[in-house]
Structure 1
Amino acid sequence: MDSRILCNFYRCTIESILTGCITAWYGSCTALNRKTLQRVVKTAQHITRTELPSMEDLYTQRCRKKAGRILKDPHHPSNNLFCLLPSGRRYRSIRTKTTRLRTVLYHRL
């Protein structure tokens, strides 16, 4: 079968299933779970004979996209969590008393 067809099938079906709500669950996955998910991607690369983005890359891409949408919407409840530093180029990190927020969407950006 043509590798383009296989790649399209992977991107439209398998990747869609793997990345469903990835911004909600991937940050709290264990290393073992991440390795298992990455094995699916590696197997698909072998079958399609093409380079595919890793789960970590997909997660980062989706998080940045989601954060961009939150920044554009001034009425979003999380919009006030994004404060620019005085330089105007980077955002201030969220201050917390616990380590719970280390793996959530906003902290990983």
Structure 2
Amino acid sequence: MLKGKQRSYLKKLAHDIDSIFQIGKAGINENFIEQLKNALEARELVKITVLDNSDLDTKEAASEVAEKTEAEFVQAIGKKFVIYKESEENKKIKLPKA
């Protein structure tokens, strides 16, 4: 569980990254989750866009994705959200102490 200071730090880092995944009309499927898990292992912090043709709203999608990838929800703004999961082998982000 992320603490306030850690979440703020991740929000600051996420500001400059581009969205690398999109959720569209196909929704969230196993293939999407597997690709996202691989990206989280490599990057730790991932930004995702929910397209207009998706049946999910941003917070629903963020909640479902975070649960299925065992990641932490960081923030949602408009149609984009950010999740974080500490990498097992490629640790790049050092979170501040709570």
Please say whether Structure 1 and Structure 2 have the same fold, judged by a TM-score greater than 0.5: no
Kindly indicate which of the two structures has a greater share of residues assigned to strand: 2
| TM-score of the superposed pair, with normalisation by structure 1 | 0.27
Q: State the structure with more CA Rg.
A: 1
Kindly indicate which of the two structures has a greater share of residues assigned to helix: 1
Report which structure shows greater RCO (CA 8 Å, sep ≥6).
2
| TM-score of the superposed pair, with normalisation by structure 2 | 0.29
